[in-house]
């Protein structure tokens, strides 16, 4: 029982700023006669057409100023690091290219390489085939 009452009070406090303008308008509608006779700025004027709307506009301006004065997020917030976890770093040093010295083999005497282009033989061997009594060449 106590928890539900506390929950309703907290929810009401959360939405109080949202419904503030509606509450001011509702209060004005209920107490308009009293406001026009006692709180109106022009209550002494004989032909008063204001009917307390000047007081209503003052209250609405005051509530707007109060809502503008309260910042949504405080400007002096600072980030506090509670935990720090050092991440495992991966080293790519083993992938770096290395220079390999290869001995020069120009001093060795090996097989002479022929740079001439291979040509097939000029004569073609023709085989004689016999099929159905004919000779094909």
Residue whose C-alpha is closest to residue 52's, from 40, 38, 60, 42 = 40
**Would the pLDDT of 128 be above 90?**
no
Render pLDDT for 58-91 as a digit per residue (tens, 0 to 9).
Answer: 888 888 887 766 666 667 777 777 877 777 776 7
Render pLDDT for 38-53 as a digit per residue (tens, 0 to 9).
Answer: 887 777 777 777 888 8
pTM: 0.42
- Spatial distance between the Cα atoms of 44 and 104, rounded to a whole number of angstroms: 116
Neighbours of 52 (CB within 10 A): 22
């Amino acid at each position: 029982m106590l928890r539900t009452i506390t929950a309703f009070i907290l929810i009401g406090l959360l939405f109080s700023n949202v419904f503030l303008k509606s509450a001011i308008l509702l209060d004005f509608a209920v107490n308009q006669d009293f406001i026009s006779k006692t709180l109106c700025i022009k209550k002494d004027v004989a032909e008063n057409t204001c009917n307390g709307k000047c007081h209503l506009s003052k209250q609405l301006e005051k509530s707007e100023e109060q809502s503008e004065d309260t910042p949504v997020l405080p400007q002096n917030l600072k980030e506090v690091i509670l935990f720090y976890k050092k991440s495992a770093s991966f080293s790519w040093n083993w992938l770096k290219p290395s220079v390999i010295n290869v001995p020069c083999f120009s001093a060795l005497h090996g097989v002479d390489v022929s740079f001439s282009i291979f040509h097939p033989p000029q004569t073609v061997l023709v085989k004689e085939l016999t099929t159905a009594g004919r000779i094909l060449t």
